[in-house]
Amino acid sequence: MAEKALNSYETIFIIDPTLGEEQVKAVQDKFTNLIAGNGSVESIDEWGKRRLAYEINDKNEGVYVLVDFKADADFPKELDRQYRITDGILRTIIIRKEIK
């Protein structure tokens, strides 16, 4: 059986900064481990606490994390589901990167 080709993606998730340092790290680790377990992590770029463009849930700051990864086409749907059911996630986006 041939191995499925992996697609390149990037995701940014914004974590609620009021959680506290340990909980922010735990949420970040949860998602980086989930991605690593279902594909391969190319890079993790921690942007840290930044001001949001607009208020989300009465918050005007968030902890930004950018992850570049490769995974099969089914995984982003599961990643999005996990984002939605996790407390402490303010916003997310998953983008499929075009191969040049």
- Cβ-contact 61, 50 below 8 angstroms: yes
Predicted pLDDT of residue 100 = 63
What is the pTM for the complete model shown?
0.89
Kindly state the percentage of the chain with pLDDT values over 90. 88
Domain that holds residue 78: 22-41+70-100
Residue 81 domain-assigned? yes
Is the C-alpha dihedral spanning 71, 72, 73, 75 positive or negative? negative
Digit-coded pLDDT (tens) for 45-87 = 999 999 999 999 899 999 999 999 999 999 999 999 999 999 9
If you search the block for the tokens 């303010």, which residue do you land on? 90
**Predicted confidence band of residue 1 (pLDDT cuts 50, 70, 90):** very low
As for how many domains the chain has, the answer is 1
Cα distance between residue 41 and residue 31, in whole Å: 11
Query: Which letter does DSSP use for residue 86 in this model?
Result: S
**Predicted confidence band of residue 2 (pLDDT cuts 50, 70, 90):** very low
Residue 3 domain-assigned? no
Predicted pLDDT of residue 3 = 56
Residue 11 domain-assigned? no
